[in-house]
A = this chain, B = another copy of it.
């Protein structure tokens, strides 16, 4: 791993140039699979013959007896410029899938160093340009969202797909390098009471024979009611007690009727759980190292180059490139500040007149408070950990802080929220209550556990969570972990304004196309 550094634009350019040279060498050794991104970096002094490239026609411009064709294949924001004689260009409609063969020659124009002088045109998938819904001109995100099956064909959406892919690969490498076991916790689960919001139920479709008693039939496939998971954490804890440190990148589901730029009904969560950790420090270190490793790794990629160096006029709705670059540089910095909730509230209270909502110990932080903290504590640059929130506003499984500071008004839990500038919360984590009796106490207090049963093993009085309580009966070490909304993280890194535009087929209240 390269050391993290605060990059100035010039050094960013340098690493990108280095990357491009590497990319060129890869191109030369794997001629069979030449992408447009690779071809655009290839600048031979002499014209190269018999170059074949496949892609989709972005635009066609007529110029006397020739056509200037802009070709894209999803590998770069920039298009490849191809020159085709008019009599070969008949079927080169916008949107068509084509294979072009010709000479790669240096270009007289300033826009690209080289262009393809086409000798042979194969139209592999024709297009009716008149009805093709994707146009080269600016189209609103709302309009593009009405056709998620075609939207990925826009150049910017292809960049977002590549960003996701490279982020997954980088994170997989990060965790493998630390011997974390990547796991597949279940999607269909038995519990609906994790307190993370509304849930979806799962039943066999009606094309299976339905007995007279319909309600019973809906539960009969799995014998009792089942739900789509809202978080894999509880199952991850079971796995962490087998192999120590675990992580997952898993779809999770919320049936909330939220109509905001931050909420989806289906999204990917990255969750990690560490065993044999005594306190929150190593858990926060892991979250920090992970995000720094991700940003440091990817900053060099051509994909992130496309995000950071696009022109202001590229006609997308992404946040300005300068702003996006600041986000990446922030994540790459060392030593992110950590402040307790209690200190944060005291700090906010000294500036109470700045806020619409009064900062009060015992209440959640409002978005305006989080924004101020990210700005003031993190200098508008570094992410900020806010730790040790009041117990009574947090989930039942969080461990109560063992040695609370006397001057604090009430009990707190060993937890954190990670705030980033503008965007606010991007990750959250905690130590988990690993002792049986304190866990049963809090489950009783929160009404998850019904009093008569006392959580005896095997009964179903824990809202389907008997098994989770069970984990504490035999050898449960201190453990903790965190979760990151993966799609939100990608939105932040890409500068996408709503999480609906970072997911290929977004699902939210009232919308589930394709």
Query: What is A's interface to B at a CB cutoff of 8 Å?
Result: 33, 35, 54, 56-57, 73-75, 95-97, 99, 124-128, 131-134, 147-150, 152-153, 157-158, 161-162, 164-166, 168-169, 172-173, 176, 178-190, 192, 198-208, 221-224, 226-228, 235, 238-239, 241-244, 250-251, 253, 255, 257, 265-266, 268, 275-276, 434, 467-468, 470-478, 503-505, 507, 509-514
Contact = CB atoms under 8 A, between A and B. Distances in A.
B190 A513 contact: yes
B162 A181 contact: yes
Q: Which 4 residue pairs of A and B lie closest in terms of their CB atoms, listed nearest first? A: A152-B242, A74-B243, A97-B477, A222-B512
B95 A475 contact: yes
Contacts of A255: 204-205, 208, 221
B132 A504 contact: no
How many subunits of this chain does the assembly comprise?
Answer: 2
B179 A33 contact: yes
A161 B239 contact: yes
Given A74-B242, A184-B268, A474 B504 contact: no
Contacts of A190: 512-514
- Most chain B CB neighbours (cut-off 10 Å) among A227, A235, A478, A512: A512
Contact of A169 (B149, B172, B226): B172
A158 B222 contact: no
A279 to B, nearest CB: 13
A242 B207 CA distance: 34
A228 B222 CA distance: 15
Contacts of A181: 74, 161-162, 164-165
20 contacts: A35-B244, A73-B243, A73-B244, A95-B474, A97-B476, A124-B477, A131-B474, A148-B467, A152-B243, A161-B239, A162-B181, A164-B183, A173-B173, A184-B268, A185-B504, A187-B266, A199-B207, A201-B204, A208-B257, A467-B513
B243 A162 contact: yes
Most buried by B among A181, A182, A434, A475: A475
A171 to B, nearest CB: 9
Given A182-B169, A183-B504, A242 B164 contact: no
B35 A179 contact: yes
B204 A202 contact: no
A183 B161 contact: yes
Contacts of A471: 149-150
A268 B265 CA distance: 21
A95 B477 CA distance: 11
A235 B204 contact: no
A99 B475 contact: no
A270 to B, nearest CB: 12
Given A149-B470, A221-B509, A169 B162 contact: no
B243 A467 contact: no
Contacts of A178: 33
A237 to B, nearest CB: 9
A241 to B, nearest CB: 6
A50 B139 CA distance: 65
Contacts of A477: 54, 97, 124-125
A149 B223 CA distance: 19
A57 B475 contact: yes
B96 A475 contact: yes
Contact of A131 (B54, B199, B265, B473): B473
A510 B165 CA distance: 36
A336 to B, nearest CB: 20
A434 B475 contact: no
Contacts of A172: 168-169, 172-173
A276 B475 contact: no
A184 B204 contact: no
A452 B224 CA distance: 42
B184 A244 contact: no
A119 B35 CA distance: 61
Q: Find the residue from A57, A178, A222, A257 having the highest chain B CB count within 10 A.
A: A222
